[in-house]
Amino acid sequence: MATTADFKNGLCIEHNGELYVIVEFQHVKPGKGPAFVRTKIKNLKTGRTLENTFTAGVKIDVARVERRPYQFLYKEGDDSYNFMHTDTFEQLTIQESLINNPGLLKEGQGVEVMYHTDTDTPLTCELPPFVDLEVTYTEPGVKGDTATNAAKRAIVETGAEVFVPLFIETGEKIKVDTRTNRYAERVK
């Protein structure tokens, strides 16, 4: 058991019989009335984010979770992804709905799988914050078109579509933010 004083981003809690992870929180002490904690929590099964307020000091059930390193092997069918544990070489199949950005997964990519330790079931599969991908197709940029912060569509080696600046050409390697699916920088 924990209280609202133990809240931190990424903490996994049980709320209304479901598992949630705290996305963000804020302690509020109004001039009149009791203190409370305003939170944004994400349901680990459905992926839905909702806002909730907890009275300050209320007891919360903390779910025990564990992060394990895996490596992406291959995609099987439409929505099954196969991974291998990097230490035990044990293989695992995860549904596409549990992966935070499956379009940016490439073979050999390292990921972290969050497990619920009580039931030993995978909850989510998280890519690293940034991945390096090669641009396989993009329209050529037009000289003199850089007066504004314009962007164009590019297809990367995994088949995902990313918006990149006009100076990026086919064949270049770029760094993509997996949380927002946006271009971050060129890779040398």
Burial class (CB in 10 A: 0-12, 13-18, 19+), 20: buried
Distances, alpha carbon 180 to alpha carbons 12, 162, 177, in Å: 22, 10, 6
Identify the pLDDT of residue 68: 94
> What would the two tokens of residue 36 be?
């409370």
3-state SS assignment for residue 156: strand
Residuewise pLDDT in 10s, the chain (188 residues) = 889 999 999 899 999 999 999 999 999 999 999 999 999 999 988 888 999 999 999 999 999 999 999 999 999 988 899 999 999 999 999 999 888 889 999 999 999 999 998 888 898 899 999 999 999 999 887 666 666 678 889 999 999 999 998 888 999 999 999 988 899 999 98
Rounded CA separation 176/18 (Å): 32
What pLDDT does 28 receive? 93
Name 112's bridge partners. Answer: 69, 126
81 has which bridge partners?
Answer: 75, 94
- In 3D space, the residue among 90, 93, 56 whose CA is nearest the CA of residue 75 turns out to be 93
Question: Which two tokens mark 165?
Answer: 């600046």
pLDDT of residue 146: 60
The pLDDT of residue 145: 60
Can you give the pLDDT at residue 108? 93
pLDDT of residue 136: 95
Give pLDDT, residue 98: 86
Q: How far apart are CA 67 and CA 125, in angstroms?
A: 9
pTM beyond 0.85, yes or no:
no
